[in-house]
């Protein structure tokens, strides 16, 4: 089952609005770059791979807006993943103007969320593709569209490969714990950490999934439980703080999580609360597996100390859906992510294979492929 998490259709980016789940499944059409920026910042679309794809489509959306303003007798839309690019007369457009449009869009999209490496990786790929279009405006648009649509196709193939590579880590009868949501909703539609579990389930293995609720925005409760329910996979939801007692009692056989950025030494940023699980896994001798695409590695950052950690609004902690549940004036600490040292990670699963006991030398060889 592939979820319609994000797509580019008839001149707009279409997303599942994840802020409404599980109560409502709504496809939202984003027709402007401002709409897309808001959707990423508000976590209507979220998860490192999905954010990367949204970034690529945001660049295409910026071109769509520019063309609407400049092309006379403009068609209803210029870009669509099914039909590619609608031909147009350049209407005086220049390569320089389109380059400036893309550069401005890159700056705006890059400012939405600082931690996920996939966002910057996708933006840079699209900018390189634009340069391959040369001086012809239509060719530039075709190059950008081809790259954005290829990233979408490639991302889904990557997720399926991660699942195939990681499912061998899952055995019949296991109890597997996951944190946050690294399934179809966080990706191009299949998943990374949950993709490992989906692939194992599809091979006939039967096991039980424990899902942390993942405070403060409850991605585990709202999104992971929703995905598992739709797939008919047995699962139990628990408060984040309850994971320790399960691990101490030996009731968890493995923990599988995603990643938003992996430093050159293997230190890994993921949803806040992952570090606590990693420490618990080390204490109680339970393997912690990270599942993420190769685009998540950032060899320019030597260690986890250099990974920028997004801090979000205090109101996400002090209120629930706009209703206060802490006394007025109470301050809150709300980092979106924390960093797990590489030494606490048993293996990293990617589309290229399984890297056991990740370290700097392994990652250097891995990222040169």
Structural contact between residues 189 and 3, judged by C-beta atoms closer than 8 angstroms: yes
Domains of the chain and CATH, by start: 6-160 (1.20.120.420), 167-367 (3.40.50.10470)
Q: Count of CB atoms within 10 A of residue 71's CB?
A: 18
Is this prediction's pTM over 0.85? yes
Given the residues 7, 80, 212, 260, the one annotated as active site: 260
Predicted pLDDT at 364: 87
Is 240 an active-site residue? no
Alpha-carbon distance 86 to 212, whole Å? 45
The reported pLDDT for the residue numbered 90 is 67
Residue showing tokens 């990233």: 151
What pLDDT does 369 receive? 62
Going by the DSSP 8-state scheme, the letter that residue 74 receives in this structure is: -
Measured distance CA(164)–CA(290) in Å, rounded:
14
- Counting as low any pLDDT under 70, the low residues of the chain are 90-91, 369
* pLDDT of amino acid 259: 98
SS (H, E, C) 264-285: CCCCEEEECCHHHHHHHHHHCC
**For 208, phi and psi rounded to 5 degrees?**
-120, 140
Q: What is the pLDDT of residue 160?
A: 98
Q: For position 23, what pLDDT does the model report?
A: 96
pLDDT given at position 111: 96
């Amino acid at each position: 089952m592939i979820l319609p998490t994000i797509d580019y259709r008839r001149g707009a980016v279409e997303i599942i609005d994840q802020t409404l789940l599980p109560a409502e499944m709504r496809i939202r059409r984003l027709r402007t770059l401002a709409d897309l920026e808001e959707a990423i910042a508000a976590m209507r679309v979220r998860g490192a791979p999905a954010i990367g794809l949204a970034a690529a489509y945001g660049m295409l959306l910026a071109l769509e807006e520019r063309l609407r303003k400049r092309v006379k007798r403009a068609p209803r839309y210029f870009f669509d993943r099914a039909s590619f690019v609608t031909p147009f007369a350049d209407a005086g457009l220049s390569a320089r103007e389109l380059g400036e449009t893309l550069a401005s869009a890159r700056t705006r999209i890059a400012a939405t969320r600082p931690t996920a490496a996939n966002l910057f990786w996708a933006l840079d790929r699209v900018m390189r593709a634009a340069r391959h279009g040369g001086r012809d405006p239509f060719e530039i648009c075709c190059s950008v569209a081809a790259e954005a649509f290829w990233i979408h196709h490639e991302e889904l193939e990557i997720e399926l490969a991660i699942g195939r590579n990681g499912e061998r880590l899952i055995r019949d009868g296991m109890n597997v714990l996951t944190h946050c949501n690294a399934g179809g909703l966080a990706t191009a539609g299949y998943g990374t950490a949950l993709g490992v579990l989906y692939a194992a389930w599809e091979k006939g293995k039967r096991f039980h999934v424990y899902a942390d609720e993942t405070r403060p925005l409850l991605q585990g409760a709202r999104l992971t439980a929703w995905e598992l329910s739709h797939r008919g996979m047995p699962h139990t939801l628990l408060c984040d703080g309850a994971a320790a007692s399960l691990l101490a009692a030996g009731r968890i056989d493995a923990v599988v999580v995603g990643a938003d950025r992996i430093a050159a030494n293997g230190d890994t940023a993921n949803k806040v609360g992952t570090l606590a699980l990693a420490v618990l896994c080390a204490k109680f001798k339970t393997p912690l597996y990270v599942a993420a695409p190769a685009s998540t590695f950032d060899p320019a950052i030597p260690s986890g100390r250099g990974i920028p950690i997004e801090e979000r609004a205090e109101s996400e902690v002090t209120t629930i859906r706009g209703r206060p549940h802490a006394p007025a004036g109470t301050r809150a600490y709300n980092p979106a992510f924390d960093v797990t040292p590489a030494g606490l990670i048993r293996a990293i699963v990617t589309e290229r294979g399984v890297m056991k006991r990740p370290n700097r030398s392994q990652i250097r060889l891995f990222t040169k492929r």
